[in-house]
Amino acid sequence: LALLIVYFITTSEEAAQTFWFVFWQDPTDLSQGEIAFRGMLVTITVAIAAYLLAITIGIIVGLGRVSSNVFFYNIATFYVEIVRGVPILVLLMYIAFVGVPLLIDGMNYLGEGMLAIGLPFGQGLADLTSRDFNNTWRVILGLGIAYGAFSAEIIRAGIESIEKGQMEAARSLGMGYFQAMRLVILPQAVRRVLPALGNDFVAMVKDSSLVSVLGVQDMTQLAKLHAASTFLFFQTYSILAFLYLVLTIMLTRAVRWLERRMGGRH
């Protein structure tokens, strides 16, 4: 793919113009890079923020999936089954256009109730509108919820791979359940499932291209707009594919390095 792009850049004026647009509109000012810089920054920012949310949800729901409490177990299982059964694109649109407006309505009612009982800081909640939540935050929430279900199953598998005697030994030393889980079980579980968590992050970076359907200015959206305005579809999408390929290869290498480092320390 890289050789093909180099060939077209050197032999086609249109491909060369697309290349310059992708990397920088003004060759003397790298900050003006349209897709490779501004778009990639949005892509990486969305992926990192969404994955931090996904890991947080995954740990909480993963603990629910191994809980002996029927209520917490059923709630966690319900979340995992529902989210994993809906396509990510559909889930993104549902959260962006249904979930967030419902959340805002709920916060408005809460704010009005707080004002009714004389709490002045309820005014901020009462004044919230859909415009206060731009599409970037909506897709971060959507991707985080979507991948939270997958992370939860990974965390659950990691916890269940730890010998039961470790929990019993921790409890015998006077630790509570959550203290033993936090200090003894989870650190070992995370190390064991680190490859799967890393692969999930790489997959999220690629799936973040779906946010373009909501108008978020990531690499895919900017490439789509450029291709539509110039009709240089082959050149634009070839370079876009190359950028994603380079990005995912770098992330995969970083995950492998982290695996070796964690393995060497423990």
Classified as helix, coil or strand, 29 is strand
H or E segment and range at residue 184: none
| Burial class of 201 by CB neighbour count within 10 A (0 to 12, 13 to 18, 19+) | buried
Q: Is the pLDDT of residue 20 over 80?
A: no
CATH superfamily of the domain spanning 2-265 = MetI-like (1.10.3720.10)
| Burial class of 63 by CB neighbour count within 10 A (0 to 12, 13 to 18, 19+) | buried
| Burial class of 210 by CB neighbour count within 10 A (0 to 12, 13 to 18, 19+) | buried
Q: Read off the pLDDT of residues 69-86 as tens digits, 9 standing for 90 and up.
A: 899 999 999 999 999 999
Tokens of 247: 């990005």
The residue ranges of every structural domain in the chain are 2-265
Backbone φ, ψ for residue 29 (5° rounding)? -135, 95
Q: Read off the pLDDT of residues 137-196 as tens digits, 9 standing for 90 and up.
A: 999 999 999 999 999 999 999 989 888 888 888 888 888 888 888 888 888 888 888 888
- DSSP assignment, residue 36? I
Q: Read off the pLDDT of residues 125-134 as tens digits, 9 standing for 90 and up.
A: 778 877 778 8
Which among 202, 189, 196 has a CA at the least distance from the CA of 162?
A: 189
Q: How far is CA 4 from CA 15, 23, 196, 239, in A?
A: 11, 17, 32, 10
Query: What CA–CA distance (Å, rounded) separates 204 from 93?
Result: 16
Q: What angle do CA 190, 196, 198 make, to 5 degrees?
A: 85
**What is the band of 35 on the pLDDT scale with cuts at 50, 70, 90?**
low
Q: Is the pLDDT of residue 54 over 90?
A: yes
Q: Is the pLDDT of residue 87 over 70?
A: yes
